[in-house]
């Protein structure tokens, strides 16, 4: 065969990839523009989000499309800067003191810069040559974090795209470990169909929804999750877990006991020492969901909340919540690296055994992913910029914001505090002495009004009160260590003001109908 192929040099002249001289030139201009845009939009906002609600956000995206879509016939840098401007203008400003709705932190500058470096160099962790330093860095980070939680030399783990996925991976490992033991055959090979057992996952009624979703994804079914009752603070009652286990039929096999360290609402910690003892006695895999609660580890005052953590078979935690790195920064640790075996993978084109024997190993076999970005870079950069004391001080600062807000709510006759904060969340509701038909709907509408007008971002939830009633409550999540008491006062004053406005609006509606 005699084939010729002419390279189209003309088209290639315009190529400027991010890491090249020309590309870096473009990038420098774009980065300057990004920084200017973010600082301009932060100044412009007087609230944490642009006013206008969902319809205005839809219109903003439509404007950026300009009728011809993103695969435009008129491409160019102006279109890109316009996109950046609108994106920044519409971003929830996580540095704003009234942005207290989500477990979503503003990241450290070091972590944000690391993300840029990671994007330019675009390393991957699935083969040695796709990122030799990046993968060694992740290995070292995993072993350092294993040390934080009290694990020994045998520990291992993986970074994942979020706490929900870390929980999924933890439960996948427990499923395969326990059911392979019970069935005497490799479950990840043979599958669950025709299995003689009914797998069960125990978690508290306050556990994160990703536990039940994982059970669905893993072929166990959401119905396999047994919800253990909690106390008023959303903490699992170990005696109830015992009682439920005792009631299992012979074919019901508990594959995991999931303890939550830092529940999404109260920030409560299930009693880890008691649950670890129970798991050991019954030979159940203990998985700890510390997605949010890991922050306690960095604080001298709060660290004891995590006593018993080292007894867990697997631990999931996020640093994109209490850790000030951008999403995704999530970790799944296992006490014994052999438990990662269900993730093992050989691929002739990625990790042939003779390459591995020469030390050319990578992280394909510890993850669900193939191509995988280096999340370790931003985490390490952020830790190196803050240090242990910095992390601890920031966690303590957020905890003290929550306590300040709680005390302030407790004194306000218009507001009712549900409970003392454990970590950095505060749950409360607006009270009224007047007749209001649906108090839950009123509280929900207060939150929506503040959001639509761009004044404040609060969370809402439904929790059981001490009187046994489950009601809509509002929730503040403090992850900004710089927020001042005056700013918290102003935020709560605005909530009270909005409560009165919504009441007026509801009254007008009633009169008109
Ligand atoms: C946030 C949270 C999760 C989910 O983590 P993502 O990173 O958002 O996927 C899981 N469990 C708890 C307790 C959480 O607070």
Mean pLDDT of the chain: 94
pLDDT at 374: 97
Task: Pick the atom of ligand 1 nearest to 207's CA.
Answer: 13
pLDDT at 183: 75
450, 100 contact by CB (below 8 A): no
Question: Which residues fall within 8 angstroms of residue 94, CB to CB, at 6 or more apart?
Answer: 48, 104, 105, 106, 479, 480
Alpha-carbon distance of 393 to 404, in angstroms, equals: 16
Token pair for 62: 């439509």
29, 84 contact by CB (below 8 A): no
3-state helix, strand, coil in the chain (%, to 5): 50, 15, 40
Q: How far apart are the first and last CA of the chain?
A: 83
What value does the mean pLDDT take over residues 389-401? 98
pLDDT at 447: 98
Residue 384's φ and ψ, nearest 5 degrees, are -65, -30
Pocket flag, ligand 1, residue 322 (CB < 6 Å): no
At 11, is the pLDDT very low, low, confident or very high (cuts 50, 70, 90)?
low
Closest residue by Cα to atom 15, ligand 1, is: 264
What value does the mean pLDDT take over residues 313-342? 97
Task: Pick the atom of ligand 1 nearest to 167's CA.
Answer: 10
- Name the DSSP class of 229: P
> Mutate which of 171, 292, 319 to test ligand 1's pocket (most atoms within 8 Å of Cβ)?
292
pLDDT, tens digit (0-9, with 9 covering 90-100), for 500-512: 999 988 888 777 7
pLDDT at 508: 81
Cβ neighbours of 193 (radius 10 Å): 6
Q: Which part of the chain is CATH 3.90.1150.10?
A: 387-512
Alpha-carbon distance of 151 to 131, in angstroms, equals: 27
Say which residue the tokens 């700890």 belong to: 288
Token pair for 471: 């009601």
* pTM metric for this prediction: 0.96
What value does the mean pLDDT take over residues 85-111? 96
Pocket flag, ligand 1, residue 208 (CB < 6 Å): yes
Span 387-512: which CATH code? 3.90.1150.10
Alpha-carbon distance of 253 to 375, in angstroms, equals: 36
Give residue 455 CA to ligand 1 midpoint distance, Å: 26
pLDDT, tens digit (0-9, with 9 covering 90-100), for 183-241: 777 888 888 888 889 999 999 999 999 999 999 999 999 999 999 999 999 999 999 99
Distances (CA, A) of 302 to 267, 281, 370: 12, 28, 37
Least confident residue range of 67-71, 184-188, 329-333: 184-188
Alpha-carbon distance of 53 to 341, in angstroms, equals: 47
> Mutate which of 318, 326, 328, 477 to test ligand 1's pocket (most atoms within 8 Å of Cβ)?
318
At 352, is the pLDDT very low, low, confident or very high (cuts 50, 70, 90)?
very high
Helices (H), 102-206: 109-121, 132-148, 163-183, 187-190
pLDDT at 186: 84
Secondary structure element (H or E) that encloses residue 105, with its range: none
Task: Pick the atom of ligand 1 nearest to 327's CA.
Answer: 7
Cis preceding linkage at 369, omega within 30: no
Pocket flag, ligand 1, residue 224 (CB < 6 Å): no
229, 240 contact by CB (below 8 A): yes
pLDDT of 346 over the 60 cut: yes
CA angle 343, 346, 351 (to 5 degrees): 120
pLDDT at 13: 64
Closest residue by Cα to atom 6, ligand 1, is: 163
pLDDT of 108 over the 80 cut: yes
Alpha-carbon distance of 282 to 359, in angstroms, equals: 40
At 467, is the pLDDT very low, low, confident or very high (cuts 50, 70, 90)?
confident
Alpha-carbon distance of 37 to 88, in angstroms, equals: 7
Pocket flag, ligand 1, residue 161 (CB < 6 Å): no
pLDDT of 437 over the 70 cut: yes
Secondary structure element (H or E) that encloses residue 9, with its range: helix 9-12
pLDDT at 19: 92
Q: Which part of the chain is CATH 3.40.640.10?
A: 123-374
pLDDT at 44: 67
What value does the mean pLDDT take over residues 425-447? 91
92, 103 contact by CB (below 8 A): no
Alpha-carbon distance of 459 to 245, in angstroms, equals: 35
- The residue among 146 and 505 whose pLDDT is bigger is 146
Task: Pick the atom of ligand 1 nearest to 103's CA.
Answer: 1
pLDDT at 12: 61
pLDDT, tens digit (0-9, with 9 covering 90-100), for 485-501: 999 999 999 999 999 99
131, 123 contact by CB (below 8 A): yes
pLDDT at 10: 58
Closest among 363, 372, 358 to 337, alpha carbons compared: 363
What value does the mean pLDDT take over residues 260-281? 98
Pocket flag, ligand 1, residue 264 (CB < 6 Å): yes
> Mutate which of 170, 204, 264 to test ligand 1's pocket (most atoms within 8 Å of Cβ)?
264
What value does the mean pLDDT take over residues 81-97? 94
Helices (H), 184-270: 187-190, 210-217, 238-246
At 2, is the pLDDT very low, low, confident or very high (cuts 50, 70, 90)?
low
Token pair for 278: 């129970």
Token pair for 118: 């990671």
Residue 398's φ and ψ, nearest 5 degrees, are -65, -40
Pocket flag, ligand 1, residue 329 (CB < 6 Å): no
323, 292 contact by CB (below 8 A): no
Which architecture characterizes domain 123-374 according to CATH?
3-Layer(aba) Sandwich (3.40)
Cβ neighbours of 128 (radius 10 Å): 20
Token pair for 282: 């019954």
């Amino acid at each position: 065969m005699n084939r010729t192929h002419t390279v189209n040099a003309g088209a290639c002249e315009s190529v400027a990839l991010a890491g090249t001289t020309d590309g870096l030139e473009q990038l420098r201009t774009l980065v300057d523009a990004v920084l200017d845009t973010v600082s301009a939009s932060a100044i412009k906002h007087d609230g944490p989000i642009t006013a206008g609600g969902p319809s205005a956000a839809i219109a903003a995206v439509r404007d950026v499309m300009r009728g011809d879509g993103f695969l435009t016939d008129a491409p160019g840098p102006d279109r890109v800067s316009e996109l950046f401007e609108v994106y920044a203008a519409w971003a929830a400003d996580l540095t704003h003191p009234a942005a207290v709705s989500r477990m979503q932190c503003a990241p450290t500058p070091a972590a944000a810069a690391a993300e840029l470096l990671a994007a330019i160099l675009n390393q991957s962790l699935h083969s040695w040559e796709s990122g030799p330093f990046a993968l060694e860095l992740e290995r070292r980070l995993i072993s350092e974090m294993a040390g934080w939680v009290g694990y020994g030399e045998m520990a291992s783990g993986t970074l994942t795209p979020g706490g929900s996925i870390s929980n999924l991976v933890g439960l996948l490992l427990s499923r395969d470990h326990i059911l392979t033991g019970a069935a005497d055959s490799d479950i990840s090979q043979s599958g669950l169909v025709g299995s003689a057992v009914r797998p069960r996952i125990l978690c508290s009624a306050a556990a994160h929804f990703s536990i039940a979703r994982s059970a669905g994804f893993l072929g166990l079914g959401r119905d396999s999750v047994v919800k253990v009752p909690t106390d008023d603070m959303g903490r699992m009652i170990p005696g109830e877990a015992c009682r439920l286990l005792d009631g299992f039929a012979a074919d019901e096999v508990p594959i995991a006991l999931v303890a939550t360290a830092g529940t999404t609402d109260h920030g409560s910690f299930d009693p880890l020492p008691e649950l670890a003892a129970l798991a050991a006695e019954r030979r159940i895999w203990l998985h700890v969901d510390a997605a949010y609660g890991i922050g306690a580890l960095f604080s001298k005052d709060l660290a004891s909340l995590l006593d018993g953590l080292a007894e867990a078979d697997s631990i999931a935690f996020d640093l994109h919540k209490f850790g000030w790195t951008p999403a995704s920064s999530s970790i799944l640790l296992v006490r014994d690296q052999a438990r990662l075996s269900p993730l093992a993978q050989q691929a002739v084109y990625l990790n042939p055994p003779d390459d591995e024997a020469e030390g050319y190993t990578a992280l394909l076999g510890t993850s669900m992913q193939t191509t995988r970005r280096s999340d370790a870079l931003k985490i390490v950069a952020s830790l190196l910029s803050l240090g242990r004391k910095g992390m601890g001080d920031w966690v303590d600062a957020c905890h003290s914001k929550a306590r300040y807000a709680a005390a302030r709510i407790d004194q306000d006759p218009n507001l009712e505090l549900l409970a003392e904060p454990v970590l950095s969340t505060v749950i409360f509701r607006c009270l009224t002495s007047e007749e209001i038909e649906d108090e839950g709907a009123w509280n929900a509408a207060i939150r929506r009004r503040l959001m639509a007008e761009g004044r404040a971002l609060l969370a809402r939830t439904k929790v059981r009160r001490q009187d046994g009633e489950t009601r809509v409550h509002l929730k503040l999540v403090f992850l900004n260590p710089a927020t001042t008491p005056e700013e918290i006062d102003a935020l709560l004053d605005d909530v009270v003001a909005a409560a009165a406005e919504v009441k007026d609006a509801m009254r007008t509606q009633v009169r008109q109908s």
